[in-house]
Every structure is written in C-alpha cells, then in structure tokens.
Structure 1
Amino acid sequence: MITGIRDRYLLDDELVADPYPYLGELRAAAPVHFSSVHRAWLITGYEQVAACFHEPAVSADRISPVMRLTPKHLLTPEAARAFEIMAGWMVFVDPPEHRRLRSVFKGAFGPRQVRRNRPMVEAAVARLTAQAGAGRTVTDLVADFARPLPATVAAAWMGVPVEDTAMFQRWAIRVGDLALGAVQSPEDDERSQQALLDLFGYLKRLVAERRADPREDLISAALAGGLVGDSVSDDEFVAMLTHIAFAGGETTSNLIAVGMWNLLRHPAELDRLRADPALAGPAVEELLRFDGPSKMSIRQVGTDFDLAGQHLRAGQRMYLVHAAANRDPARFENPDRLDITRSPNPHVGFGQGAHFCLGAPLARLVAGSAITDLLAAAPGIALAGGPPRWQPSLLNRSLEELPVRL
C-alpha cells in the first residue's frame, strides 16, 4: 500500500462541491488505493476502472452481503421485503443471472425503439419549457424542468396512465432516496421502504392489465418477448420495473441540470451548441464525461485478484470512480477542459461490459432534446444566485437547485 496519500472523506463539503482536484491527486499517486476512511478500494484510473467492469472477480451484488450480515429480528417485514425486491434489480446481479434477467428487455431499450418516443419527449420538453418560464424572471431549473421531465417521460414510456403519473413520480423519488442512501432519518427510511412496496404492487397490477390488453409501451413490449412467466418470473420482472422507474429519471435529471450548469459556465461551448443543435449528441457525451451524473459504481471483490500491483481480497468493497476515470490524462487530452466536439470520447459514464446502462439510449435522447430545446426557447438564459448547493451523495452528482434567469 502506498503511503503519503491524503485519505479524505468523499462527502466533505469541499469534495461534494468539487471532487475533481482531489480525485486527480489520488489518481496520480495511486489509481488503486485502499481508503481507511471508506474501508474500500478507490479505483480512479481509467484503465483500472475499465478493467474492473470486465473482471469476473468483481461482483455487483452488494445487497445479499448486507442481508446475510443483518440479524433477521432487526428487520421489519417491510424492510425485509424491500431488500428482497432490491436484490432482484439487474444492477445488483452478476452473470449469468444478470444475462437471464436483462434478456427480458432485449430490443425494448434499443435505439430504434427509443427513437419512437421522440415525439413524446419533444412534446414534454416544449410543455415544461413553457411552464418553467411562465410569468417568472427566475426559475429553479431542477424543480421546474430537469426533475419532472425524465420522470414524465419514464412514466409515459412504461404505460402509466396520465392520472397516476404524479403518484408514480412520488414513489419513484422515494425509492431513489432508499437506493442511493439519501434518506435522512428512520422515519424517511420507513416511508421509502413503503414507497417501494407500493410501487411494486402498482406495477404488478399494471403488468396484469398489459398482459390482458397490450399497448405501445415498455411493459407490453417486454411481455411480447415471451420470457416473462417462463425464464423470468412475474415478480422478478416487476422488481426490475421498480428499478427502471427511478433509475432513468434520476440519472437523466442530474445530467440535464448539471449539464446546463456547466454549459452556462462555459459560454463559448454554449454558443457553439446554440448555433449548431446537431452537436447535441456529442455535447451530451462530453457532459457525461466532464461532470456526469454518476460519480461512481460500488462493487464487491468476489474472489481474490490483483490490480495495478495491489492485492484485492474477497469481501472487500470497491468504488469504481467514473468521475476520476473520465478525467484521466492518460486517456483524454486536456481532460479538465469542456469540449462539446470531443472525439473520440470513450467515457465510462454509463459503465461498460455486462452492466452497461440499459437506459443509455433513452437518457441520451431526453437530455439532448431537453438541452437544445431549452436553449432555443430561452436564448437569454443565465445563472442566477450564488454558488450551487449539491446533494451530499457518494454515487450521484446532483444539484439541489439551479436558479436561472430566462
């Protein structure tokens, strides 16, 4: 183990606001470093992070170990059931089980299927853009635009009736708090667990309805593949839907908000995108690389293996730090510079390998449309207020609010 490295708590206010200088220092000193503060390996080099996404000795299952170590009498029935549902999420399952579960959505998340949602996305963007600026000089881009847009699209895509959308979104937000460790009290924890159970029950009923009456939505498309009820049980399918309900919305919301914040701080890049909306695709990729919505993925060492001269032992926790890997000068030229025409741009913002983000095509579509349409509708948009306030999260890069003048 290398000595002399500053071992800092990643949720210190300074590092929540701007983690990049410290992560760069850590990456340069030791791209694979065991943090005594976090009791986990911090993997910060691009080469090493990418290798871990493909390494069979690295496990994505971080729910089962918690369940095994938690005495059953300490869990309420609701908490036990919530853990059971989360344990079935694809993001926490290793191959070959991961492949079996993921196969249910084969084609449903493909670029062609996602492109069919473009009119719905564009309509939602136009509606929220108009609402955000209605009668106000200053608006909170997080609350009024970035947060409701992906949630609205996700609900419509999954086939949630319009009259249920607000309730669905409330459940999804609470489930996100539970999954991302953002609950602030035991009472919040209980409410979030109940939200997961309520969402599971709602989606189970919706699956039954779509089985009887298929429509043009994600659930119907997945059911049409014939694997649900065969190689994948109904409960496994519904559990995966509860994950999809919050995951895409949370990630895309943060991508839009933090992406707009960075564009507004880099007026030359903002002007390039406004002048040429066709740059939306590469702009989204660069925003994912430069300051993306996911700071890290948490993994477990499944079996002992060596990485960059370090010996990692089974049972140890690993933080695959995307935020550091995506600014590795060994892989990216001028990594601390925002360049919306950067090419190639092999960032790891959506992961790699078997766990590459299933919803990446939809996130790219929604974020690209949101940012370019907002710039077109609000040519005078500018930051308002003081320094931004960030959510204290290990996993997410998330603004609490983003006041802007329209």
Structure 2
Amino acid sequence: MTDTATGMPSLQALFDPAQRADPYHSYQRWRRETPIANPLDQLFVLTRHADCAAVLRDPRFGHTEPDQATPFRGQPPPVENALVDENGKPVRSFLGLNPPDHTRLRKLVSKAFTRPMVAKLAPRIEQITAELLDAAVAQPGPVDLIESLAYPLPVIVISELLDIPPADRDRFVGWSHALARGLDPDFLLPPGLREEQLRTRGEFAEYIRELAALRRTEPGDDLLSALVKVRDSEDVLTEAELIATCILLLIAGHETTVNLIGNGTLALLRDPGEYARLRDEPGLVERAVEELLRYDSPVQLSVRAALEDAEVGGVPIARGSITILLIGSANRDPDAFDRPDRLDIGREPSRHLAFGQGVHFCLGAPLARLEAQLAFRALTERAPGLRQAGEPSWKDNIVLRGLARLPVHLK
C-alpha cells in the first residue's frame, strides 16, 4: 500500500498484522524507496543502519517528556493514572530519560545489576534449561517450544533475581504481557488496551511496594534487596524510581529474551543446515546468538525525539520531531552486512543494533546473551533432530516482536 499523496509506502501498511510473520520485505522496500520517510508532520521513519546508529549515538536525540503528545504515542494518559513522585510528576525508568537523570539512575541500578552477578547465574540457568527440556522431551508427541522453554526460562530467571515467590509467577507473566503490548504506538492498539496497561502498571507497582517493604526488613541476596539498599543508601533511588526500574526489568528481562529464544529457534528450524552446524560446532554459540539477534531482532523498533535541530542522512530533523528507528530493517541493511538476508551463525561479530547503541545500550544485554547461549547449547544437545511440527503463530506486539506458539518435535 502506498500513500498516493506522498508516493511513499503507507505507515499503516508498515505495521499491518499481515506483515507480522515477515516484515523484512516491507522494510526492504522502505529502505530502497524512502530510506528516511516523513509520513506525518514531525514524524520520520529511518530504515538504514547508518542513520539509525547515528541517532542512537547522537546526544541531540533523546526522549520526550511524559506529558508531551507525539505523533507516535498520541495524547499521554492522565497524570493520576501514571506512576508519579511525591510532587505529582510522572516517573519513568531510566530507559525513557535523558541525561543527567538517565545517567544518575542507570549508575544506581548498575551497582546492583553487575556483570559478576550475571556470570554467577550460569550454573542455575543451565540447571533450569536442562529441567525444562527434560520435561519437554518426556512428553509424547510435539510440544510448543515457547511454552516449554522460551517463556519459562527467562520468567524463572528474572523471578529468582527479584525473588518473586513461585506462586506469583503466573501473575508476573500476565503483567509482563500487558506492559510489553503497551510499548506499541497508540494508533495500533485496540480500544481499551492503553487503559488496561495503566491498570496493570498500578497493580504491579503495588505488588513491588509490598515486596520492597518486606525486603527492607528481611533483606536477601536478590536483585530487589540490592535495589532497596540503593534506595535506602546515601545515593538515593526513590520508591517511584525503584518501581519504574522493576517494571523495566520485568519487560527487558523477560519479554525480549523470550523473543530471542523463540525467533532464533524458528530461524534455525527454517535453515536446518545452520542448526546442524551449531549442533556439530557448539563453540559457535556466542556468534550464533549475535547472528540471531541481527537476523530477527526481538526489538524491532525504537523511538527518539529531536531535542534540538539536527540532520540525519542529509535530511533536516526539526527540534521536537519524532524518529522511528526500524532496528529490524537496519539489521538487514546490505550497506552494513554482507548478504544480510542469509542466516550465518559463523558470521564475524557484527555491528547489529538489537541492544541499541550509545548511552541507552541495553543494561541487560549480558543476561539475555547468557540465557540464549545456554538455551541454544542445551537445545542442540538434547534435541539434535529438532524439527517443526506445524506453523508458528505470532503475538500482536509490534515493538517487541515474537512468537506466541512454535510447535516442534524434540525427538
């Protein structure tokens, strides 16, 4: 579909549910015909790797204020329905902030979410993965890999990191689904979903308040206890900031990893030669995960606002304009990657944008990489003959693109 007034591909068509299973042909057309599109006033769509990377690194681009309407988000929700501080000002996680607030909060959270903490998780992740796959292999007939492995693995890991009681994990998953869907643009959400997302945020916030109060009196060695200590120390993380951070960890530590394992497995199933290659050369697993992140990125797009007048790829971007960075397209750009539509698990380490770049580079990238590496290694060991048992289905999400179901034969 093309906008006849401008001659460019339609923005609505770009996000059409019919494209969900394979948006890459559409991305290719945008890159070729309108690499920097301007479908609406003060709204730009960037499809090339160089342009997306430039915006991600450029301090002239950042995030809008929570009370600011945008062509992508529409009118913001009323303040009374949002997470607010003691002065009634909306509070967001550091992911949605600009320096210096972003710098301060990310530094605080980094104290509790360190690389040594992630590295220590490896034996437990291996154990969880083995238990999940052993249970799946024991089932007669085909199984849903999303339900059997891709969902429960990161859910258990992030739940144990935050010390979420096992009895509450189903609620935890429900909250995660609703909050992740809320990342999509307003014009693509069905009526009532934004309100549902706000209610979910409120429920999750109250749950974290109660759990944080318990950790304050009975601290453990979990991540939430560490975040509470940060809040109670001289370098303060306020209660609202603590809750916003936990919401971010819930989505970033769960939904994106689910999509990485699910999307990556499907890509390998569709290229059985590469699956066999990974099975026979387990030392390729680190490169394989980087290639799967590039090939079918769990995060398909990111949004930045021009904080001042700027220029990208020779196109002037006025202050206040919104840029949609099509990460999925950038990661298939032939100007950045040789034969980008080919899956190559031995590809040299690439400059993919799956975790972003610049000051907002994903803090949880080491954990996502570790979980995926251990999951794919275990999968090739325990299911060397893995094959599809039916067609997959996709979730409705646009920003966090992933599978709802992937039926497979494990034996």
Tell me, yes or no, whether TM beats 0.5. yes
Match of 1:302? 307
Deviations for 1:232-274, whole angstroms, at most 9, x for unmatched residues? 3122122211221122200000010010000011111101111
> SS state of the match for residue 126, structure 1?
helix
CA spacing shift, 1:71–1:49, aligned 2, 3 Å = closer
Q: CA separation in 2, counterparts of 1:47 and 1:169?
A: 36
Alignment of 1:231 onto 2:244: no
Deviations for 1:211-233, whole angstroms, at most 9, x for unmatched residues? 33332211233344577564331
CA spacing shift, 1:356–1:366, aligned 2, 3 Å = same
RMSD: 2.8
> SS state of the match for residue 323, structure 2?
strand
> SS state of the match for residue 393, structure 2?
coil
The structure 1 residue matched to 2:262, chosen from 236, 241, 257, is 257
Note the 1:390-405 alignment, pairs <5 A: 390-405=394-409
CA spacing shift, 1:307–1:179, aligned 2, 3 Å = closer
Alignment of 1:61 onto 2:64: yes
Alignment of 1:114 onto 2:111: no
Q: Structure 1-normalised TM-score?
A: 0.89
The amino acid that maps onto 2:288 is: A
Aligned-pair CA distance for 1:377: 1.4
CA spacing shift, 1:350–1:227, aligned 2, 3 Å = farther
Q: CA separation in 2, counterparts of 1:145 and 1:82?
A: 36
Q: Share of identical aligned residues, percent?
A: 34
Note the 1:20-31 alignment, pairs <5 A: 20-31=24-35
CA spacing shift, 1:133–1:63, aligned 2, 3 Å = farther
Alignment of 1:45 onto 2:42: no
Alignment of 1:205 onto 2:216: no
Contact kept in structure 1, 2:230 and 2:236, CA below 8 Å: no
CA spacing shift, 1:26–1:227, aligned 2, 3 Å = farther
Note the 1:92-103 alignment, pairs <5 A: 92-103=96-107
CA spacing shift, 1:251–1:86, aligned 2, 3 Å = farther
Q: Which runs of 5+ in 2 are unaligned?
A: none
The structure 2 residue matched to 1:329, chosen from 330, 334, 340, is 334
The structure 1 residue matched to 2:168, chosen from 164, 169, 173, is 164
Alignment of 1:351 onto 2:356: yes
Aligned-pair CA distance for 1:296: 0.7
Q: CA separation in 1, counterparts of 2:163 and 2:221?
A: 8
Q: CA separation in 1, counterparts of 2:384 and 2:89?
A: 45
Aligned-pair CA distance for 1:17: 2.1
Question: Bigger CA drift: 51-60 or 20-29?
Answer: 20-29
CA spacing shift, 1:390–1:259, aligned 2, 3 Å = same
Match of 2:390? 385
Contact kept in structure 2, 1:176 and 1:247, CA below 8 Å: no
Aligned-pair CA distance for 1:117: 0.9
Q: CA separation in 1, counterparts of 2:156 and 2:271?
A: 29
> SS state of the match for residue 112, structure 2?
coil
Match of 2:10? 7
Q: CA separation in 1, counterparts of 2:198 and 2:84?
A: 6
CA spacing shift, 1:125–1:358, aligned 2, 3 Å = same
Q: How many residues align?
A: 399
> SS state of the match for residue 37, structure 2?
strand
Note the 1:208-223 alignment, pairs <5 A: 208-223=213-228
Q: CA separation in 2, counterparts of 1:331 and 1:114?
A: 31
Q: CA separation in 2, counterparts of 1:183 and 1:399?
A: 18
Alignment of 1:129 onto 2:133: yes
Deviations for 1:86-109, whole angstroms, at most 9, x for unmatched residues? 741122111111011111122433
Aligned-pair CA distance for 1:125: 1.0
Q: CA separation in 1, counterparts of 2:161 and 2:386?
A: 30
Contact kept in structure 1, 2:42 and 2:320, CA below 8 Å: no
Q: CA separation in 1, counterparts of 2:74 and 2:189?
A: 21
Aligned-pair CA distance for 1:85: 9.3
The structure 1 residue matched to 2:159, chosen from 126, 140, 155, is 155
Question: Bigger CA drift: 376-385 or 159-168?
Answer: 159-168
> SS state of the match for residue 133, structure 1?
helix
> SS state of the match for residue 311, structure 1?
strand
Question: Bigger CA drift: 105-114 or 218-227?
Answer: 218-227
Q: CA separation in 2, counterparts of 1:71 and 1:168?
A: 25
Contact kept in structure 2, 1:171 and 1:199, CA below 8 Å: yes
Match of 1:138? 142
The amino acid that maps onto 1:218 is: L
> SS state of the match for residue 106, structure 1?
helix
Q: CA separation in 2, counterparts of 1:229 and 1:383?
A: 54
Q: CA separation in 2, counterparts of 1:85 and 1:144?
A: 41
Q: CA separation in 2, counterparts of 1:85 and 1:369?
A: 42
Contact kept in structure 2, 1:40 and 1:317, CA below 8 Å: yes
Aligned-pair CA distance for 1:351: 0.1
Question: Bigger CA drift: 361-370 or 131-140?
Answer: 131-140
> SS state of the match for residue 400, structure 1?
strand
Contact kept in structure 2, 1:117 and 1:157, CA below 8 Å: no
